[in-house]
């Protein structure tokens, strides 16, 4: 076996995925919604913890820390209890609350930038991540949640292996030096493949061409989510968002693509099917 291929398949990244993916499949197959919510809530708390230094620096945004944590929790609970309407309404209220905090801060130089980062933080983490709860409530919710993970993580595997083995042209060297155009295109192909596979197996019943488009769109936005997190890390001089997952860094490093892909699957499926 080629030495590069051997290193890829023996890496901690692959070993971790081999353990994690069956557990996720089991969760999607048997878990009730309340358990899914509790587990996602725990992950969301880790994402907020890991994401804070990326947005505000190691010590920045101290006065916003408590309010943003509280608003993140309320957004997630709203999505669980009231669906997309409650989530959207709570997001509007969260912005109003942050505006009041901005007025309270007065005209100090950093007040407006911190307010803008707080709004982006709430959109990026609890709001986008809560779309997994919204997807769960769709007619094929469990299968569609699986689609989100398969088109992002499966596409990421295609991108990682093909980019490592065949990648030549850098995609965005300043933001993510290891990503290549070849890997990016392979990721799109992997996203379309896994969406089509779920459709062929009967788990997702939309037309095959709609499944392919949804898989391509979700993977494309997922890769943009990965680049966005890389941008945040590079701007702060941080290598990984955390170290809890061997070979993958932190939880945010693993779900950065899911954050951008989940809304695509929810709204795309809702527009086509419901």
pLDDT tens, residue by residue, 182-218: 999 999 999 999 999 999 999 888 899 999 999 999 9
pLDDT band at 269 (very low <50, low <70, confident <90, very high): very high
pLDDT tens, residue by residue, 118-144: 999 999 999 999 999 999 999 899 999
pLDDT over 80 (residue 12) = no
pLDDT for res 271: 85
Gap between the Cα atoms of 189 and 186, Å rounded: 5
Average pLDDT on 168-179 reads 87
SS3 248: coil
Q: Which residues pair with 170 in a beta bridge?
A: 180
CB proximity list for 45: less than 8 A, separation 6 or greater: none
The answer to whether 121 and 228 have CB atoms below 8 angstroms apart is no
pLDDT tens, residue by residue, 244-265: 555 456 789 889 999 999 999 9
**pTM attached to this predicted model:** 0.88
pLDDT for res 10: 47
Gap between the Cα atoms of 213 and 30, Å rounded: 28
User: In whole numbers, what is the pLDDT of the chain averaged over residues?
Assistant: 85
């Amino acid at each position: 076996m080629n030495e590069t291929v051997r290193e890829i398949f023996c890496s901690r990244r692959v070993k971790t995925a081999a353990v994690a993916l069956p557990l996720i499949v089991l969760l999607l197959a048997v878990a009730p919604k309340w358990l899914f919510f509790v587990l996602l809530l725990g992950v969301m708390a880790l994402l907020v913890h890991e994401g804070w230094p990326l947005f505000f620096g190691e010590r920045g945004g101290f006065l916003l820390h408590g309010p943003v944590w509280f608003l993140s929790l309320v957004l997630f609970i709203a999505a669980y209890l009231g669906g997309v309407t409650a989530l959207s309404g709570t997001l509007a209220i969260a912005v109003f609350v942050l505006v009041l905090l901005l007025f309270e801060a007065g005209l100090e130089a950093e007040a407006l930038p911190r307010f803008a980062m707080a709004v982006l933080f709430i959109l990026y983490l609890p709001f986008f991540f809560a779309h997994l709860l919204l997807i769960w409530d769709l007619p094929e919710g469990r299968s569609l949640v699986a689609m989100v993970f398969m088109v992002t993580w499966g596409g990421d595997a295609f991108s990682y292996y093909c980019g490592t083995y065949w990648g030549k042209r850098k995609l965005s060297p300043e933001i993510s030096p290891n990503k290549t155009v070849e890997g990016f295109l392979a990721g799109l192909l992997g996203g379309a493949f896994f969406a089509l596979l779920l459709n062929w197996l009967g788990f997702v019943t939309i037309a095959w061409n709609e499944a392919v488009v949804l898989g391509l769109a979700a993977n494309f936005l997922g890769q943009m989510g990965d680049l966005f997190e890389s941008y945040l890390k590079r701007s702060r001089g941080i290598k990984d968002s955390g170290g809890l997952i061997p070979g993958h860094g932190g939880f945010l490093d693993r779900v950065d693509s899911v954050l951008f892909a989940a809304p695509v699957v929810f709204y795309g499926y809702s527009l086509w099917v419901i």
